[in-house]
Amino acid sequence: MLTMFGVVPKVLWERRMPADPRNRISLGMRCLVIEHDVGLILIETGSGNKEDRKFQDIYGIENEGANGRTALEDGLRAAGYTPDDIAIVIDTHLHFDHAGGNTYRDERGDIRLAFPRARYVVQGGEYHYANHTNERTAASYFARNFVPVFEAGRFDLVDGEREIVPGVTVMPTPGHTPFHQSVLLESSGARALVLGDLVPTAAHLPLPWIMGYDVEPLVTLETKRRVLARALAEEWTLFFGHDPAVAWARLTHDGKTYGAVSDPPPGKSG
C-alpha cells in the first residue's frame, strides 16, 4: 500500500517491499502470547471476523480460521490454548487490524467478547480518541471492536506508563495515534519491546520511514528517536507486528541509520 511508507518515494521502498499491481504489499498481522504466572497475556488481537468480503478484499485480509473463528484462534489452539485461557489482552491501539479481534460476531449476528475471561488494557486517551473520530480517522475505528468491551466493564483504561503485571509494562509511544502504546517485556535480565505501529516492519526502522496512516508523523519521529536510542543502548529485542517475515530482531545502527539483525525471541515464546 502506498500509505505504508508515507512520504518515502515508491522507488525507494519497493526495493525493500515489492508491491502488487494494485500497489498492495505483503504484511503480517502478528499477535503475541506471553505465558505468565498470572495466566496468558495476549498482545494485539488482529482483525477479527466481523468485516464483510468487500472490506477484506480492499486490504487483502486473510484471517479466516481453519478450525476456529480466526487465524489467531487457530494459532492459540495449535499452542494448546483456547480463548478462555487468556487472562489479559493488551491493545497497542484500537485500529481494526490490531483490536478487531477483541470481539467476534456469532452465528446469530450478535457481537461477543472474543476472550470472555480477560481484562483488556488500552490507554484511556486512545479509547476516547477512538470514540470521537473525524473524517480522517473514522475508517480505522469501528465501535464494535471496543465499545462492547467497555460496556461489559472489561476495559482497564490506563493513563501513561504502567506495569500491568511484573515484567509487562505499557509505555506511551505517540504519533501513529496520539495515545498509542508499546509493550516492554522483561524476563531474566533480557528486554523486548512490542512496537505496535510505532515501527510496523523492520523496513520502518530508519527515522523518517513513517506510515502515511500516522496522524502525527512528526510526533512519531520524536518517539522513534527516543525509543530506538534506548533500545539500542539497552540491547532490546524488537517485535514487529506487520513485518511479513521478521517477527523478532535486534536493533543495529551503522552510524547513519537504524537496521536490524535477526534475533531469537527471549524465553520460549514465538
List residues binding Zn ion (CB under 5 A): 95, 197
Q: Least CB distance from residue 152 to Zn ion, whole Å?
A: 23
User: From CA 203, how far away is CA 258, in angstroms rounded?
Assistant: 10
How far is it, in rounded angstroms, from Cα 220 to Cα 18?
Answer: 24
- Measured from each CB, the residue nearest to Zn ion is 95
Q: Which is nearer to Zn ion, 68 or 92 (CB)?
A: 92
Structure letter (DSSP) for residue 264: P
Q: Which lies closer to Zn ion via its Cβ, residue 169 or residue 220?
A: 220
User: Measured from the CB of residue 72, what is the shortest distance to Zn ion in angstroms?
Assistant: 17
- CA-to-CA distance for 97 and 135, rounded, in angstroms? 19
Judged by CB, which is closer to Zn ion: 17, or 232? Answer: 17
27 vs 40 by CB, closer to Zn ion: 27
In the complex, what is the shortest distance from the CB of residue 176 to Zn ion, in angstroms, rounded to a whole number?
6
Amino acid present at 197? D
CB of 113 to Zn ion, least distance (A): 21
DSSP 72-118: HHHHHHHTT--GGGEEEEE-S---HHHHGGGEEE-TTS-EEESSTT-
- Least gap, CB of 175 to Zn ion (angstroms): 11
By the 10 Å C-beta count (0-12 exposed, 13-18 middle, 19+ buried), 49 is classed as buried
Nearer to Zn ion, 30 or 95 (CB): 95
